[in-house]
Amino acid sequence: MDGVIAGADIDVYVYQSDRGEIITGSELDPYSSYSFKTTFSTLELISSITVELLPCLGNVNILRQWTGLCDMTPDFSPIMGEVPGIKGFILDVGWGTYGFKTAPAAGIEIAQLIATGKPSDIMAPFSLTRFYENKLVDEKAAGVCLRPGRQYYYLQ
């Protein structure tokens, strides 16, 4: 499979690893939790959606299941910029599942902020103040498992 199938409305992604394994998962729990336990109900939900998308996977065996914490903000976007009222305290957090892929670009933006004292036009919407100004940046679709060199098919 030479691509990634993902859908923000279904909270599932499916792709094939370089070793040939089919990787499927969901980035978001239906409720807030700090548990590291996997659950059969989550596995069952992800599997049923995956098989609905790709019926040819109906008879494959599941090799393993894992879980982990993901630091996501309520609007699924990172927080970048200086903390109001605390000069020099700069945040670059809340990237969730895609932070390591965006780190180089975020580093350039943060460096520019440090050098100039002013956020760029690209970084400004990601300010901490957006939460009390009600200017959320809805980036839910960015939470899927992105892999370099892959074609992405987003389901609507």
pLDDT tens digits, one per residue of 53-92: 889 999 999 988 888 777 778 887 899 999 999 999 999 9
> Cα dist. 65→34, 105, 117, 142 in Å?
17, 32, 45, 23
Kindly list the domain boundaries of the chain, sorted by start residue.
3-69+142-154, 79-137
pLDDT score, position 83: 96
Superfamily of domain 3-69+142-154: D-Amino Acid Oxidase, subunit A, domain 2 (3.30.9.10)
pLDDT score, position 132: 92
Under 8 Å between Cβ of 15 and 23: yes
Provide the 3-class DSSP secondary structure of residue 146: coil
CA torsion angle for 77, 122, 8, 76 (degrees, to 10)?
A: 0
- pLDDT above 50 for 150: no
Sign of the Cα pseudo-torsion (115, 118, 122, 127, in order): positive
- pLDDT above 70 for 117: yes
pLDDT score, position 28: 60
pLDDT score, position 156: 41
Q: What is the DSSP secondary structure assignment for residue 60, as one 8-state letter?
A: P
